[in-house]
């Protein structure tokens, strides 16, 4: 397996900003890879995508890889910087199907809403958490960013996650992954730029 020292340490603000920039650069394009690890061979992973295709994925020392671990609404305090994927509703609110707590180093970076390919018509939004209230339809989380305030509807199926340093043991058959940015190589494999590996969870983004 590739050198884990870089991915285990906490990246500085500049490096983390570069990761987010790479993520946002592909946010408007198809090609995010979601699936599960089928085989691990050193720095090469064989990944089965959601549509059943097999993709060979390579990781090197420049790849930015983090684990995703389960979280809950209780982990989101007022002013926590979060990213959430959801489906806009007729009243202007967003029904979230995935909420993840962003690293402190990314605080304030990438604010706003943009198209997403997690589900038909979905969006991804980075924002600061505000107050949370209980309604007859579930929880409502108020968020705010440069675009103003908005209601986020949380349902029993909304997935919560937080990034954690990657460990060698996270790379195993059956682990669920999402690749945000990758570069196709001459041999047809994909060199990872930004990737999350679920640690006991499926990345719901």
> So what's the pLDDT on residue 162?
94
Tell me the pLDDT tens digit for each residue of 62-101.
999 999 999 999 999 999 999 999 999 999 999 999 999 9
Region of 116 (left: φ > 0; alpha: ψ -120 to 50; beta: rest) is: beta
pLDDT above 50 for 47 = yes
Sorting pLDDT into bands at 50, 70 and 90, what band is 136? Answer: low
Q: Which of 204, 28, 14 is nearest to 114 (CA)?
A: 28
- How remote is the C-alpha of 51 from its chain's centroid? 19
pLDDT over 90 percentage in the chain: 69
Q: Is 140 helix (H, G, I), strand (E, B) or coil?
A: strand
pTM of the model: 0.78
pLDDT above 60 for 6 = no
Mean per-residue pLDDT over the chain, rounded: 85
Tell me the pLDDT tens digit for each residue of 142-151.
999 998 999 9
For residues 116 and 24, give the distance between their C-alpha atoms in angstroms, rounded to a whole number: 11
Q: For 5-67+163-198, which CATH class?
A: mainly beta
Which DSSP letter does residue 72 get? -
- What are the sequence ranges of the domains in the chain? 5-67+163-198, 69-162
- How remote is the C-alpha of 17 from its chain's centroid? 15
pLDDT above 70 for 120 = yes
pLDDT above 90 for 12 = no
Tell me the pLDDT tens digit for each residue of 140-188.
999 999 989 999 999 999 999 998 999 999 999 999 999 988 999 999 9
Contact 54, 47 (CB under 8 A): yes
């Amino acid at each position: 397996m590739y050198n884990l020292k870089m991915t285990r340490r906490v990246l500085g603000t500049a490096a983390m900003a570069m990761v987010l920039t790479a993520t946002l650069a592909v946010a408007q394009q198809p090609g995010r890879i979601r699936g599960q690890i089928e085989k691990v061979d050193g720095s090469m992973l064989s990944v089965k995508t959601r549509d059943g295709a097999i993709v060979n994925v390579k990781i090197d020392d420049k790849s930015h890889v983090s684990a995703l671990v389960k979280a809950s609404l209780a982990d989101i305090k007022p002013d926590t910087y979060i990213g959430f994927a959801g489906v806009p509703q007729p009243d202007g609110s967003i029904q979230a199907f995935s909420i993840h707590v962003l690293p402190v180093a990314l605080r304030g970076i990438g604010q706003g809403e943009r198209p997403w390919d997690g589900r038909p018509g979905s969006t991804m939004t980075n924002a600061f958490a505000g107050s949370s209230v209980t309604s007859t339809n579930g929880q409502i989380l108020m968020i705010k960013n440069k675009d103003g305030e908005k209601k986020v509807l949380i349902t029993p199926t909304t997935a919560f996650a937080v990034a954690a340093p990657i460990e060698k043991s996270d790379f195993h058959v059956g682990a669920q992954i999402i690749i945000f940015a990758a570069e196709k190589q001459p041999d047809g494999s994909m060199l990872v730029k930004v990737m999350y590996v679920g640690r006991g969870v499926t990345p719901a983004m």
